[in-house]
Amino acid sequence: MSESRQKDFAKGERIKIHQPNADKADRFNPRNRIYVRAVQGVWTTLRRKMGWVALSFFLLLPWIPYGDRQAVWFHIAEQKFHIFGLTIWPQDLTLLAALFMIAAFALFFVTTYLGRVWCGYTCPQTVWTFIFMWFEEKIEGSRNKRIKLDKMPWSWNKLWRKTAKHSAWGVISLITSLTFISYFVPTQELYRDFFTGQATGLVYFWGVFFTLATYGNAGWMRDIMCTHMCPYARFQSVMFDKNTFIVGYDAKRGETRGPRSRKADPKAMGLGDCIDCDLCVQVCPTGIDIRNGLQYECINCGACIDACDNTMERMGYAKGLISYTTENHLEGQSQKVMRPKLVGYGVVLGVIILGFIYNLANIDPLRLDVLRDRNALYRETSEGLVENTYTLKILNKTEADNRYRLTVTGLEDYKWSGPEELLIKAGEVATQPISIAVDPYDLSRPIVSIEIKVELVDDPSINYSHESRFFSRG
């Protein structure tokens, strides 16, 4: 890629190219619809399988039971995130931040190495768009039939096909919406109440909102989401280099392009292997011509590779005119897999993953917060003792009711006022005020560091400590 072309790519600019799918006068106009042609091939099959895996995971996960609840349930009202046997509380949301960091650096790492494959194979926008396109093709027909149908005046044939297509899109959108909501509302309760009219207004609001969002994004906006609204399309160029695997066209082999018969000798005609069939453009979900070089709209889905390979096979030519390759390879230079940027992303990603796993494995099953009495540092009792008052907040983060024992260290001889054992129900926070009194002659300093400890009665190895201060007269 030339230096000027790299600058254009970094700025998000686009080369004007031949586009049979839309009005040539203004191909950026959202009204200029892209009619995507169906294609078969290795990469299309892989994308479909990965899409079905992701879709099945999304749809089935809320239905998996775990004890007396569903396995994955983000209980916003009680501020608890249930993931099978793991319960994450607001105090553990640093794990969520770490998870976002893992996702970000994984995206950086994969993009640096394999380009925009996330968009082409696993992005929800891509998965749902291809599902909508599948229904569109089954109901309205192939690409040419769809173009012809849209140009026809309204008739019974056009009416029922359009109605059936949009009805199918609506059903998919509603199922998607309810599935997403079922991660936050118990699944069986959600479906029962939603279709019997007993759900809350908030549930109906989000149900309609996500239904319309899915219908609009995957049905109407499609490539607009990828090229104009997704920020990833704009900043991906920062991660690209000449060793990044991209969908590339071998211009040295393909040019000069032009039509010919199967029996013709392209060399005798002064032509390359590209027969200028435009199928690579017709199958592209974002409507670009990959023969014009790397463009930020390319989502690396590989549809153009399959279309070109099929054409090469029919013509009796070698496959790979369009392929997953690198700019260095296209320019005849050697490829470098291990490079500083890729290694850096990998190292950071590995460190964050290890830290996440460590913190995940060491989530405390209980939590203790100690609040001192703000009205007075200390007071003297009628017995001449110095007394400090504290408020303990103990969170039982397990799924069972437990009895806990309270102790304090750092004071040799003290008088404890308040219960020394507490029964706390599963998932509840117990607020318990206590007082600790000490003979001032037993204190060597006016401020003594102490440690209040809570431990499970049945298993003292499960405990949590909180440091505080004990104040006395100077």
Which comes out higher in pLDDT, residue 361 or 6? 361
Q: What is the DSSP string of 329-394?
A: HHTTPPP-SS-HHHHHHHHHHHHHHHHHHHHHHT--SEEEEEEE-SS-S-EE-TTS-EEEEEEEEE
Confidence of residue 27 (pLDDT cuts 50, 70, 90): very low
Q: Which of 9-13, 40-44, 245-249 has the lowest mean pLDDT?
A: 9-13
Confidence of residue 13 (pLDDT cuts 50, 70, 90): very low
Confidence of residue 398 (pLDDT cuts 50, 70, 90): confident
| pLDDT higher than threshold 60 for residue 101 | yes
Q: Which of 16-25, 58-67, 331-340 has the lowest mean pLDDT?
A: 16-25
Region 305-330: mean pLDDT is 94
pLDDT digits (tens, 9 = 90+) for 211-248: 999 999 999 998 888 888 888 877 877 888 899 999 99
pLDDT value of residue 245: 92
| pLDDT higher than threshold 90 for residue 252 | yes
Q: Which of 169-173, 292-296, 342-346 has the lowest mean pLDDT?
A: 292-296
Burial label for 303, CB within 10 Å (0-12, 13-18, 19+), is: buried
Confidence of residue 203 (pLDDT cuts 50, 70, 90): very high
Positive or negative: CA dihedral 48, 54, 59, 60: positive
In the beta sheet, which residues pair with residue 73? 82
In the beta sheet, which residues pair with residue 466? 452
Confidence of residue 442 (pLDDT cuts 50, 70, 90): confident
366-471 CATH fold: Immunoglobulin-like (2.60.40)
pLDDT value of residue 365: 86
Two tokens at 401?
A: 């009711």
| pLDDT higher than threshold 80 for residue 443 | yes
In the chain, the percentage of residues whose pLDDT exceeds 90 is 64
Region 394-411: mean pLDDT is 90
pLDDT value of residue 12: 39
| pLDDT higher than threshold 90 for residue 18 | no
Confidence of residue 296 (pLDDT cuts 50, 70, 90): confident
The pTM score is: 0.80
Confidence of residue 474 (pLDDT cuts 50, 70, 90): low
pLDDT digits (tens, 9 = 90+) for 351-396: 999 999 988 888 888 889 999 988 888 899 988 899 999 999 999 8
pLDDT value of residue 23: 41
Mean predicted lDDT score pLDDT of the chain: 88
Interstrand relation of 429-438 and 402-409 (parallel, antiparallel or unpaired): unpaired
**CA angle (75, 83, 427) in 5-degree steps:** 55
Contacts of 73 (CB under 8 A, 6+ apart): 62, 81, 82, 183, 184, 186
The ranges assigned to domains in the chain are 366-471
Q: Which of 17-26, 198-207, 441-450 has the lowest mean pLDDT?
A: 17-26
pLDDT value of residue 15: 33
Confidence of residue 315 (pLDDT cuts 50, 70, 90): very high
Q: Which of 5-9, 12-16, 38-42, 239-243 has the lowest mean pLDDT?
A: 12-16
HSE of 144, CA atoms in CB hemisphere, 13 A: 1
Nearest-angstrom CA–CA distance, 108 and 81:
27
pLDDT value of residue 32: 65
| pLDDT higher than threshold 70 for residue 7 | no
pLDDT digits (tens, 9 = 90+) for 102-148: 999 999 999 999 988 999 999 999 999 999 999 999 999 999 999 99
pLDDT value of residue 467: 93
pLDDT value of residue 111: 92
pLDDT value of residue 136: 95
Q: Where are the alpha helices (DSSP H) in 115-151?
A: 117, 124-140, 143-151
Q: Which helix (H) or strand (E) holds 66?
A: strand 65-66
Q: What is the largest CA-CA distance in the chain?
A: 113
pLDDT digits (tens, 9 = 90+) for 80-90: 888 887 888 87
Q: Which of 19-28, 205-214, 303-312, 322-331 has the lowest mean pLDDT?
A: 19-28
